[in-house]
Structure 1
Amino acid sequence: MTASSTASTAGDTGPAGEAFQPPEGFALLRPNEGYIAVSGPYYRAAGGLYGFQSDDRHGNPNGVLHGGAILTFVDTVLGREVVRVTRRRCATIALNSQFMAAGKPGDWIEAKVVIRKLTGSMAFVDAEVTAAGEPVLTATSIYRIFSGEIGAPPRPPETAPAS
């Protein structure tokens, strides 16, 4: 993971290479390479919001989103928020999830990430995930934070806009 996480959405392409415009306020999460590029692309907005446009690649034989596609997204964005705030690399220690419903290929998937507590070497982070605006998953996690900054000084977690 790197500290650089977003860039302009101009010229972004969707999973099949077609022109894609994420919802307003979302920008491409960078770097968009390796497994993240295969499973995404993922996007970030202010307030701990992350998202991706699901498609047929993310589906399972039952016609719904594969749980692994959602969990890959959640694990990625939980860690990215830790890196964004601490400016330090991290690794997943624990990731607990509870599926509440299924999404469909083609749904916009969005996660609201909240850092609950940071210590010198640990982060406790939660997420709520929706598909097409409907709740599909909650997650709690613990990340190991490694020493050594990878960018500018730490930034405080952003506060979510009042709903």
Structure 2
Amino acid sequence: MSKEIPAGFERLQRGGPYMAGLGELYLRQEGSVIVIAMRVSERHTNMRGIVHGGMLASLADTALGIGLTLSCEARHSFVTVSLTTDFLAAARPGDWLEAHVQVDRIGGRVAFAGCRLQVGEKMALRASGVFAVMPPLTPEQLAAGY
């Protein structure tokens, strides 16, 4: 299994304790393009040897929240109100899984965003979500990786 990180990605110290338990996240940001990624491993698989759907949904939800936070000048945080997912293809151990985030709108009370999880050009999942806009995280929360 390759452990190489593609060029342009940097280790992301965000995601909170839950995502930290699932693996290291990486960020590539070029202007408004936000990509959150990770290398999947055996621990992410189900009994069929493919990445568990709950893992894919967790990555999508986390990527959407981080993408919204990075897109918001006030650096608000966001809490998921609704998440819709469509599972399109399997991901496997060793895959470099990228969440390409698209922020649609950030309002005063709610925000809307979508993403697609991809392995290369193959789309594994598409997701869209509605998020409650919360106050910015404290410096202590940010230092803890939330």
Corresponding residue for 1:62? Answer: 48
Q: Does 1:72 align with 2:58?
A: yes
Equivalent position of 1:5 in the other structure: none
How many angstroms apart in 2 are the aligned matches of 1:116 and 1:33? 24
The aligned residue for residue 135 of structure 1 is 123
Higher helix share: 2
Percent identity of the aligned residues?
28
Tell me the number of residue pairs that the alignment of Structure 1 and Structure 2 aligns: 133
TM-score by length of 1: 0.75
Matched residues in 1 for 2:23 and 2:54: separation?
Answer: 13
CA distance in 2, matches of 1:148, 1:140: 22
Q: TM-score, normalised by structure 2?
A: 0.83
Task: Report which stretch shifted further, 27-36 or 100-109.
Answer: 27-36
Query: What is the distance in 1 between the residues matched to 2:138 and 2:70?
Result: 10
Change (3 A) 1:64 1:132: farther
Which of 18, 39, 64 lines up with 1:35 in the alignment? 18
Cα offset for 1:100?
0.7
Question: 1:106–1:148: structure 2 CA closer, same or farther, 3 Å change rule?
Answer: closer
Secondary structure of the equivalent of 1:72?
helix
Tell me how far 1:133 sits from its aligned partner: 3.4
2:77 alignment partner in structure 1: 89
1 or 2, which has the higher strand percentage? 2
The question of whether the paired residues in 1 share the 8 Å contact of 2:63 and 2:101 is answered with: yes
Aligned pair 1:25/2:8, yes or no? yes
Q: For CA contacts below 8 A with separation 6 or more, give which structure has more relative contact order.
A: 2
Q: How has the CA–CA distance of structure 1 residues 40 and 149 changed in structure 2, closer, same or farther, with 3 Å as cutoff?
A: closer
Cα RMSD for the two superposed structures: 1.9
Q: Kindly state the Cα deviation for residue 117 of structure 1 after the two structures are TM-superposed.
A: 1.1
Unaligned runs of 5+ in 1: 1-19, 152-163
Point out where structure 2 has 5 or more consecutive residues left out of the alignment. Answer: 140-146
Q: In the alignment, is the contact (CA less than 8 A) between 2:24 and 2:38 conserved in 1?
A: yes
Alpha carbons of structure 1 residues 144 and 98: separation in structure 2 relative to 1, 3 Å: same
In structure 1, what is the Cα distance between the partners aligned to 2:97 and 2:39? 6
